[in-house]
Amino acid sequence: MPSKQLRNPARTPVIRTSKNVNPETLLPSPVFSDPALIVGAGGVALMFGYIATQWWAAARRHAFESQRSRLELAALGKKIELLNLKAQAAPEVAWNGYRKFTVARKVEECEDTYSFYLTPHNGRRLPPFKPGQYLTFEFKFPNEPKPLVRCYSLSDGSISDTHYRVTIKRYVRADGSPGAVSNHFADQVKEGDIVDVKAPSGKFYLDVEMDRPVVLISGGIGITPMLAMARVLAHTRDPREIYFFFGCRNSADHMFRDEVIELQKKNPNMRLHICYSRPFEGDAAGTNFNHQSRVTVDLLKQVLPSSNYEYYLCGPGPFMDSLVSGLYEWGVPKKDVKFEAFGPATVSTKPKEPAGKPDKESQSLVEIEFARTGKKLMWDPTVANLLDFAEANGITTIDAGCRSGGCGSCKVAIKDGHVEYIGEPGDEPEEGSCLACICRPNGRMVLDA
Ligand SMILES: Cc1cc2nc3c(=O)[nH]c(=O)nc-3n(C[C@H](O)[C@H](O)[C@H](O)COP(=O)(O)OP(=O)(O)OC[C@H]3O[C@@H](n4cnc5c(N)ncnc54)[C@H](O)[C@@H]3O)c2cc1C
């Protein structure tokens, strides 16, 4: 058979030679030599260009909007996830009194600061808590006549129902001596130990259901409640605008550095501003910290687009004093400034003045009767609260704990009369009782003390 017939015609390559080319097509087209047509074609090209740009912008807008909707949906999904988590945990209600917890892990976060992971000794699930709340611990030391009661904020978000975490910094008293409980935690408490803990409480917490933009501001160990708030915001991928300011001296004090960076990665809405007041030479600006200063209202004014945020603050006394008053001066309404003090030194920053507070002269005429002790004394209006007044007069029947309305140790029954609160109680005492550490008398009183 001739080989020609075996060829598949579709596969036969077409060999182009100069003979296939029409020489006319190599000449310039007469269209491009007419200026009117060139202008016309240019106009059409411009029009197409404009339409293409508009289309591209619309497509980008659409892509952006869909991305945003996806993020919002994801955030909603995360919120539902969190609510489900809470709902699952709901059957485990908070307990009354003290419950035994095992120290499952002890981790050094930075110099003199340790985190303690606590699991319930009975192995049962834990109730959820609100980010910002604290636990109350009781220690019975052989050399102390009374148990020592201290509060420590939960530094984790309320994500886990198997453990709680608190983070404790060694406290040094004004005279240089070590604080009893914080140093006991740092030096003595070890993994496997058992501690007595009251259920989470406190009114300083972030409302996770709200979508108002927030500014979390903390100094030193005051980071603990803010960290719990930031963790919940990150975990739920909360779409609201979040600013996180943290101030410390330098990298030696910079606790939770990696953890906070991880949270920011989880929730890009969170903008981090780390301030070092006294950086080491090796502390790199822009890497370890963003601002070489304290956290001040001037810095907030530089960084925040406006003052219209909800502010949460926790830190040392002077830090809170200047920031809280600075925010008020900046025009932030008092209802938008929420803060917590870690001890009596900062309680005075509470801007609350009791309504209709009697003047100093009439207050000094108020008689306080301590019924159990059998003492009748004239109230001293220069004293901060009923607990200090009792202690100053040798009355030892009122216990003291946190001294900021948190732990409930100083609860005392009122037999007659009324009090005015100068601070926010962690848990409302029952009718007919008061928390002596954050109360002043409102007229003559008889106390069961
Ligand atoms: C709501 C809340 C949350 C807290 N969260 C944390 C936290 O997350 N991490 C942390 O490290 N700390 C936290 N603290 C502080 C903590 O409770 C202790 O106050 C701190 O650890 C010092 O206790 P200490 O026993 O070591 O010191 P100590 O000096 O033995 O005791 C300090 C106690 O004495 C009281 N006190 C101090 N000075 C005086 C005085 N002049 N007169 C009378 N009483 C005084 C204080 O109120 C405090 O209760 C928190 C406090 C509160 C109220």
Q: Residue 322 sits in a domain of what CATH number?
A: 3.40.50.80
**Nearest-CA residue for atom 33 of ligand 1:** 402
pLDDT at 75 (0 to 100): 61
Ligand 1 centroid to Cα of residue 53, in Å, is 63
Ligand 1 centroid to Cα of residue 118, in Å, is 20
Q: Do 428 and 395 sit in the same domain of this protein?
A: yes
Q: 10 Å Cβ neighbour count for 98?
A: 16
With a cut of 60, say whether residue 9 has pLDDT above it: no
Q: What is the pLDDT of residues 45-82, one digit of tens each?
A: 888 888 888 888 887 777 767 766 666 666 666 566 56
Domain-located, residue 425: yes
Q: Do 384 and 266 sit in the same domain of this protein?
A: no
Choose one of 144, 402, 407 to mutate for the ligand 1 pocket test, by most ligand atoms within 8 angstroms of C-beta. 402
Q: What is the pLDDT of residues 328-340, one digit of tens each?
A: 999 999 999 999 8
Domain-located, residue 76: no
Q: Do 441 and 383 sit in the same domain of this protein?
A: yes
State the closest ligand 1 atom to the C-alpha of 404, by its place in the atom list counted from 1: 53
pLDDT at 24 (0 to 100): 43
Choose one of 109, 130, 152, 166 to mutate for the ligand 1 pocket test, by most ligand atoms within 8 angstroms of C-beta. 152
Amino acid at 2: P
pLDDT at 64 (0 to 100): 65
Ligand 1 centroid to Cα of residue 221, in Å, is 12
Ligand 1 centroid to Cα of residue 121, in Å, is 25
Domain-located, residue 378: yes
- What share of the chain has pLDDT > 70, as a percent? 82
Ligand 1 centroid to Cα of residue 402, in Å, is 6
**Nearest-CA residue for atom 50 of ligand 1:** 342
Tokens of 227: 């960290």
Sequence-separated (6 or more) residues with CB below 8 Å from residue 201: 133, 134, 136, 406, 426, 427
Domain that holds residue 183: 98-201
Please give the average per-residue pLDDT across 148-165, as a whole number: 91
pLDDT band at 394; cut points 50, 70, 90: very high
State the closest ligand 1 atom to the C-alpha of 202, by its place in the atom list counted from 1: 1
Say how far residue 441 (Cα) sits from the centre of its chain.
Answer: 34
Ligand 1 centroid to Cα of residue 307, in Å, is 32
Please give the average per-residue pLDDT across 98-105, as a whole number: 97
- What share of the chain has pLDDT > 90, as a percent? 63
Q: What is the pLDDT of residues 208-260, one digit of tens each?
A: 888 899 999 999 999 999 999 999 999 988 999 999 999 999 999 999 999 99
Tokens of 322: 């200047």
Q: Do 220 and 294 sit in the same domain of this protein?
A: yes
pLDDT at 354 (0 to 100): 44
**Nearest-CA residue for atom 15 of ligand 1:** 342
User: Which letter, b or e, does each residue of 156-165 get, where b requires 16 or more Cβ atoms within 10 Å of its Cβ?
Assistant: bbbbbbebbb
State the closest ligand 1 atom to the C-alpha of 405, by its place in the atom list counted from 1: 53
Q: Could you give the angle at the alpha carbon of 238 between the alpha carbons of 334 and 301, nearest 5°?
A: 40
Measured CA to CA, the distance from residue 425 to residue 434 in angstroms comes to: 9
Measured CA to CA, the distance from residue 396 to residue 220 in angstroms comes to: 33
With a cut of 70, say whether residue 159 has pLDDT above it: yes
Measured CA to CA, the distance from residue 276 to residue 232 in angstroms comes to: 25
Please give the average per-residue pLDDT across 289-299, as a whole number: 97
Tokens of 243: 């600013």
Ligand 1 centroid to Cα of residue 181, in Å, is 8
Q: Which residues have CB under 6 Å of ligand 1?
A: 134, 150-153, 167-169, 171, 173, 179-183, 202, 221, 224, 340, 342-344, 402-404, 406
pLDDT at 407 (0 to 100): 86
Sign of CA dihedral 439, 443, 446, 449: positive
With a cut of 80, say whether residue 180 has pLDDT above it: yes
Q: Do 184 and 250 sit in the same domain of this protein?
A: no
pLDDT at 67 (0 to 100): 67
Q: What is the CATH number of the domain that holds 181?
A: 2.40.30.10
> Which of 294, 312, 347 finishes a domain?
347
**β-bridge pairing 242-248 and 214-219:** parallel
Q: What is the CATH number of the domain that holds 435?
A: 3.10.20.30
Choose one of 181, 184, 195, 435 to mutate for the ligand 1 pocket test, by most ligand atoms within 8 angstroms of C-beta. 181
**Nearest-CA residue for atom 28 of ligand 1:** 179
Q: Do 164 and 281 sit in the same domain of this protein?
A: no
Ligand 1 centroid to Cα of residue 399, in Å, is 15
Sequence-separated (6 or more) residues with CB below 8 Å from residue 68: none
**Nearest-CA residue for atom 19 of ligand 1:** 343
Ligand 1 centroid to Cα of residue 180, in Å, is 9
**What are the φ/ψ torsions at residue 78 (nearest 5 degrees)?**
-65, -40
pLDDT at 12 (0 to 100): 40
Q: 10 Å Cβ neighbour count for 95?
A: 14
Q: Do 241 and 322 sit in the same domain of this protein?
A: yes
Ligand 1 centroid to Cα of residue 152, in Å, is 9
> Which of 347, 377, 393 finishes a domain?
347
With a cut of 50, say whether residue 37 has pLDDT above it: yes
Amino acid at 39: V
Number of domains in the chain: 3
Q: What is the pLDDT of residues 339-390, one digit of tens each?
A: 988 876 443 444 344 444 555 555 668 999 999 999 999 999 999 999 999 9
Q: What string of H, E and C letters represents the secondary structure of the chain?
A: CCHHHHCCHHHCCCCCCHHHCCHHHHCCCHHHHCHHHHHHHHHHHHHHHHHHHHHHHHHHHHHHHHHHHHHHHHHHHHHHHHHHHHHHHCCCCCCCCEEEEEEEEEEEEECCEEEEEEEECCCCCCCCCCCCCEEEEEECCCCCCCCEEEEEEECCCCCCCCCEEEEEECCECCCCCECHHHHHHHHCCCCCCEEEEEEEECCCCCCCCCCCCEEEEEEHHHHHHHHHHHHHHHHCCCCCCEEEEEEECCCCCCCCHHHHHHHHHHCCCEEEEEEECCCCCCCCECCCECECCCCCHHHHHHHCCCCCCEEEEECCHHHHHHHHHHHHHCCCCHHHEEEECCCHHHHCCCCCCCCCCCCHHHHCCCEEEECCCCEEEECCCCCCCHHHHHHHCCCCCCCCCCCCCCCCCCEEEEEECCEEECCCCCCCCCCCEEEHHHEEECCCEEECC
Identify the residue whose tokens are 């605008």: 241
With a cut of 50, say whether residue 35 has pLDDT above it: yes
Tell me the pLDDT of the chain averaged across its residues. Answer: 85
Measured CA to CA, the distance from residue 437 to residue 410 in angstroms comes to: 6
**β-bridge pairing 367-370 and 445-447:** parallel
Q: Do 164 and 226 sit in the same domain of this protein?
A: no
Domain-located, residue 29: no
> Which of 326, 347, 368 finishes a domain?
347
Sign of CA dihedral 181, 146, 225, 276: negative
State the closest ligand 1 atom to the C-alpha of 173, by its place in the atom list counted from 1: 29
With a cut of 80, say whether residue 411 has pLDDT above it: yes
Q: Do 250 and 168 sit in the same domain of this protein?
A: no
Domain-located, residue 208: no
More confident residue, 85 or 448: 448
CB 154 within 8 A of CB 134: yes
Q: Do 179 and 245 sit in the same domain of this protein?
A: no
Q: Do 271 and 377 sit in the same domain of this protein?
A: no
Ligand 1 centroid to Cα of residue 51, in Å, is 68
Domain-located, residue 2: no
pLDDT at 449 (0 to 100): 96
Please give the average per-residue pLDDT across 89-93, as a whole number: 57
Q: Cα separations (Å) of 242 from 4, 45, 269, 292? A: 79, 46, 6, 21
State the closest ligand 1 atom to the C-alpha of 224, by its place in the atom list counted from 1: 8
Q: Do 222 and 328 sit in the same domain of this protein?
A: yes
Amino acid at 96: N
Ligand 1 centroid to Cα of residue 143, in Å, is 19
Domain-located, residue 316: yes
Measured CA to CA, the distance from residue 158 to residue 164 in angstroms comes to: 8
Domain-located, residue 391: yes
Sequence-separated (6 or more) residues with CB below 8 Å from residue 307: 300, 301, 327, 330, 331, 332
**Nearest-CA residue for atom 31 of ligand 1:** 179
